[in-house]
A and B are shown apart, each in its own frame.
Chain A
């Protein structure tokens, strides 16, 4: 019984982490129109920085790495998120300047592969291709729980992170900021023709998405306890992209739904397919990737907007005008007063 519970909690953890990653990817791709297929390097970088700031000093006989500051939780997670944002700032100057669409996508992929090779070959940085191990779990000695309750505790932490990410993205999407980001996605020259600094907005969206990726990476490394360059690369990055495409691009609930469908349902549940005859665990693993690729292909062909399409924005004020109702019920205010502004407007507002 216990190991089923443990397994379900593990699925929960993956769901919440992929939610966070999907929401961050939604910000940069779904809203700001940045074609970044290399979001996984920001996850990896956040994971590495979280690892080396929570590990003690490097012992070159075991594994060698930078920092080793052993700072108190949750600082490693925050530093991991900040490093994701910082890495986005640096690479954003390459990705976001003059590059668009497929050219942008190719460049992000190339830079990501270079970054992974650099990390793998410089053994002093994050212990090279062997990766880092023995990353301490957060507050393990403080809460002092048995494995299953601790697992539940950890899932709770990741749920809080995912919920904060969701609340944040919900606000962004509904604000003028979300509208400007979508206008950049639709047509950059219109956005800049109407006074918007496109590079700045894309860079900030990219950095915030980088921070969310870094935080997701930090949570993963704290959960797994180890991290290697090969453990999180193009394939895992593809899962995040596939999840958003299937769930619904530019829809936050869609991003969450995608995090349930792809990493949890397809990826994890295929592990339950029993081995029989020629079907062994390796063929099941191959089948899992085929299923995921096929699913993305089918969605791109027949339902490119995903299960939950981007919601169409309505403004209650205007809908009331269109249906002939009083646009601002309870306020003694004519249309022209509202347009040209008067003290009445701000007074009425302050009262509510």
Chain B
């Protein structure tokens, strides 16, 4: 576990206070506060619909909060757009892989690099030498990362032909091109086979060993226990508890909320009679 490597007195890398977000009448996130520390993987768990992805989008700036505040690396980023936060080093991956389909894997990687020289008309036309130099540096970094993630044979293929698992790898590799200070990973192992999930988890663990700070949303508790410390539990749009996975495992309220039984019974009167029996086979899914 990474905790013994981390300076516990370090200032939080990101700090969210009192974040709320509603969609119509649905309070997706209510008065959420959390902190994530440098060098750690902070886990974010909770049943479906708990508001984890919304919270992550609020941190990344893809959504604007109705109220609350986000501080990142000494900046108040609450009113900043996602692209402004990305330039500060706050980068996220998506719950559903979002490859730039009709661009090659390599070009996807270059979009991940936030070098941005040669992206204005004047520089693109007149400053070719400078952007070419930066591009070459990015290309070599991209090749190294593609090799690390076993994507090198696909370098010149369009990203749209990749398999689901390869898209997951590309998503992670592309985010690393940005050299993020904090990487927000929204279910990076979702929808891949167990072997590849393990492989991806190994990548995440290794990255953390190299000092990469992350916030990770994940449902598979074994992986969360292996990778994350601390773990934050969300339910119904609020933070329920936080701590190491062992501490949380002893918390009856957390266990109950995570399995989602009381919640689903409450939510749907129809399901109230049948839900407990129906759920049993899926309990460990």
Chain A interface residues toward B at CB < 8 A: 168, 171-172, 175-180, 182-183, 186-187, 189-198, 201, 204, 208, 310, 312-315, 317-319, 321-322, 327-328, 335, 338-339, 341, 345-346, 349
Contacts and interface: CB of A to CB of B under 8 A. Distances in A.
A335 B140 contact: yes
Interface string B94-137: 10001011111011001110111111110111001101010111
Interface residues of B, number: 52
A305 B104 CA distance: 16
A195 B124 contact: no
Given A186-B100, A314-B156, A317-B140, A193 B60 contact: yes
B178 A195 contact: yes
A176 B116 contact: yes
Contact of B111 (A172, A180, A201): A180
Contact of A176 (B60, B62, B83, B135): B135
Contacts, number: 139
A349 B129 contact: yes
A333 to B, nearest CB: 10
With most chain A CB atoms within 10 A of its CB, the pick from B62, B131, B139, B174 is: B139
B144 interface: yes
Given A172-B121, A318-B155, A339-B141, A189 B62 contact: yes
Interface centre among A180, A194, A345 (most CB of B within 10 A): A194
B86 A195 contact: yes
Is chain B's interface secondary structure helix, strand, loop, or mixed overall?
Answer: helix
A317 B114 contact: no
Contacts of A317: 136, 139-140
Given A183-B111, A312-B156, A189 B139 contact: no
B149 interface: no
B143 A177 contact: no
A176 B118 contact: yes
B82 interface: yes
Q: Which 9 A-B pairs have the closest CB atoms?
A: A175-B124, A176-B118, A186-B100, A195-B86, A177-B124, A195-B114, A192-B83, A195-B87, A183-B111
B82 A193 contact: yes
B170 to A, nearest CB: 11
B81 interface: yes
A315 B111 contact: no
A322 B152 contact: yes
Contacts of B114: 194-195
Given A186-B100, A318-B143, A338-B136, A193 B87 contact: no
A128 to B, nearest CB: 37
A177 B143 CA distance: 21
A198 B104 contact: no
8 contacts: A171-B124, A183-B111, A193-B82, A195-B114, A315-B139, A318-B143, A328-B136, A349-B133
